[in-house]
Each structure stands twice: as C-alpha cells, then as structure tokens.
Amino acid sequence: GQCRAVCPTGAIIIKNDNQKVWEAVHDKSKRVIAQIAPAVRVALGEEFGLNPGEVTIGKIVSALKTLGVDEVYDTAFAADMTVIEESKEFVERLITGENLPLFTSCCPGWVKFAENKFPDMVDNISTCKSPQQMFGAVIKEYYKNKDKKEGKETIMISVMPCTAKKAEAAREELQHNGIRDVDVVITTQELALLIREAGIIFDQLEEESFDMPFGLASGSGIIFGATGGVTEAVVTRLLRDKPDHSAKDILFSNVRGMDNLKEAVFNVDGKEVKIAIVHGLKSADKLIKQIKAGERHYDFIEVMACPGGCIAGGGQPVPMNTEMRKERAKGLYKLDRTSHIKSSEKNPLVMSLFEDILKDNHELLHVHKKAEAEV
C-alpha cells in the first residue's frame, strides 16, 4: 500500500528495504550505522518542496537519528579512501603499463555493463571497491571486537541515489563468511518515504552533524556525486605536490560540466597522461568501441552509467531534467568550495585509518571481479 506510482517495477523492493530499516532500528541487538552518499544531500529536499541542489545534509542526518539509527556517517569519507587507493593503483599501472586504460569502478551500473558487454576489459577496471562497499567493510572491521564483547551485530544501511547499488551490495564477492559489507541499501526516494512513514516533518527538523570518526570528508570525496568528480579527485591527489595551480584550473574546467565526452591531458612526473570522462552507457559503449578500434587512446577513464553521474541516479527524486542535474551538481561543487579539507589525502581521519586498521587489512578495500558473459 505504501508504494508510489513512480516505481512500477520496484514496488516490492521498496516495501522490503524500508521494512529492513524498521526491523534493524527496533532490534536492540543491532548497532545500526547509516552512510549517506554525496548525491542524496543535493536532491532529497526536492521531495519536500525545496529546490534542486539545495543541501539538506543536516536534516538528513537528523531524520536518520530520529528513525533510530545509532550512528550516521558520510559516504564521501569512503570516497576519500577510494581516491587514495585508486590513485595508487593508477600510478602502479602507469609504471608497468599493464591493464591501461584504468577504468573507474565506483558505478555498479557501469561495472555490470562492462562485465556483460566487454568481458575482455574487466581487468582494466580498478580493483578498488566502490565507496559504499569500502565503507561497509571498514565499519564491520572497526566494530568487530566491540560487537563480540557486547553481543551485538553491526548493520550497515546505505542511502544511495541509485538502484544498482542494491545489486552491488548483494554481490557474492562483496561478502565474507556470509557477512555483507552493506546490509541494506535504500534510495533517496525510499528515504523520503521512510521519513513520511515515520511522520517526521522534514522542514521542521533541527540540523545535526555527522558522527565521528567517519563523518569528516574532503571536498574531493563530495564531488564524487557528479560526472567528472572522481577524475577531479584522483587528479588532485596525483598533482598534490605540484604547485602549478593554473594547470589544475584548466584541467578542471574540462572535467566539469555535462558534455557527453570530456577529455583532459596532464603531466605526472614528466609523463603525459590522457583521461576521458563519459556518462551514460551509450556514450561509454561508443567510446570503448573507438578504443578497441584503435581510434582513441587513454590512460584513465571515468564511467558513470547515469547521464550527469550519481546526482541523476535512478533512485533520486523525479521528475528530473538537465537544468535540475546542473543545479544538483552545483550544490556539490559549492560543498567542495566551502569544505575545510580540499583533497582526500589531507583528510586526517582517513589517513589515521590507513595507518591503523587498514595497515594489515588492505584487502578490505579491493575486490577482484570476474567476467560474467551472460548477456
């Protein structure tokens, strides 16, 4: 009875996944942790009459707390981890020359598409888990001993702009001994529904900040939600020691925006690196065919399945048009501009995590995908 006309195929999913949230928050034996993806905070407000791009993160945190979630964290924190890992992987591949171009791995819509359509290119996809999955794996590890001591179980709920994130969380290689990195994925639309179900008046919520220690993200982590954002974050990281800011500015004016194919060239340690950014699977398909035909050459390629990137994901409020996409992206870039930490490796909490639990647990951040030619 709760499902809405906008979701003709997802009626049961919607009901079940919100039901899972309710069950988790009412179960005293569960430590319920939520993560919120960057794109959600610039779109959820539309469900409650606000303009696209309006940032409502404080109210979203507050709403999740009101629903009974114990700790609320920022997926952009995990995006900072992804930037560090993926940059490292990219530099290694640039040195060996193997499996180039490196394709980004944070969009499960794209990964699935590549597995089905271009199984011979699966090794080119980054082994980095997506931020959603990295976060789940790290949280489960972080609370492992405490859970055992307290007889609790940690449940990771993620709030995503995306329906493909549900399938990603359910993938077999993203669980260990039956424990999933992420237990429940709800979309922005589903969160709006939960808020209504709970009788919360969104407008009247007092803003709250993220919990610590995983609630602090850099601007780089936040812009993951818009097309070009991952590239910008990785390049910012690679050029961190290079004082040539004007080169960066030129570069970023190329990677931002809604063109189907964006390209940029820059130098890392005397080596020319060529990158491409595509969004929408049609553009990705076309580009890969050109690469296979030898017509184009790149070292790094960012692919997002949704035109515009995650800000325009299938779980976001509808209707949506180009203008709204631009406004949502603007919201993320504004957060980047006003954030205290500009690049991922300057996030002190991420860096201390790398020196602490990730030191001997690096595999928590990686996954080795297999081609499934199932078309």
By CB under 6 A, tell whether 304 contacts ligand SF4: yes
Query: Of 14, 24, 306, 332, which lies in the binding site for ligand SF4, with binding defined by CB under 6 A?
Result: 306
Pick between residue 45 and residue 229 the one whose CB is nearest to ligand SF4: 229
Choose the stretch contacting ligand SF4; rule: CB under 6 A; options: 69-77, 106-114, 212-220, 234-242.
Answer: 106-114
- Total residues at the site for ligand SF4 (CB under 6 A)? 13
Question: Do the Cβ atoms of 158 and 75 come closer than 8 Å?
Answer: yes
Pick between residue 107 and residue 276 the one whose CB is nearest to ligand SF4: 107
Q: Cα–Cα distance between 222 and 215 in angstroms, integer?
A: 12
In the complex, minimum distance from the CB of residue 77 to ligand SF4, in angstroms, rounded to a whole number: 17
Catalytically active residues are 86, 89, 106, 126, 165, 168, 173, 310
Question: Do the Cβ atoms of 299 and 94 come closer than 8 Å?
Answer: yes
By CB under 6 A, tell whether 156 contacts ligand SF4: no
Contacts 24+ apart (CB under 8 A), 93-101: 94/268, 94/271, 94/273, 94/299, 99/123, 99/124, 100/124, 100/299, 101/276, 101/291, 101/298, 101/299, 101/300, 101/301
By CB under 6 A, tell whether 324 contacts ligand SF4: no
By CB under 6 A, tell whether 159 contacts ligand SF4: no
Question: Do the Cβ atoms of 366 and 85 come closer than 8 Å?
Answer: yes
For 43, 98, 343, the CA distances from 129, given in Å and listed in that order, are 25, 20, 19
Choose the stretch contacting ligand SF4; rule: CB under 6 A; options: 177-185, 236-244, 254-262, 303-311.
Answer: 303-311
By CB under 6 A, tell whether 53 contacts ligand SF4: no
Q: Cα–Cα distance between 267 and 251 in angstroms, integer?
A: 11
Query: Of 25, 81, 107, 174, which lies in the binding site for ligand SF4, with binding defined by CB under 6 A?
Result: 107
Binding site for ligand SF4 (CB under 6 A): 107-109, 161-162, 164-165, 304-306, 309-310, 313
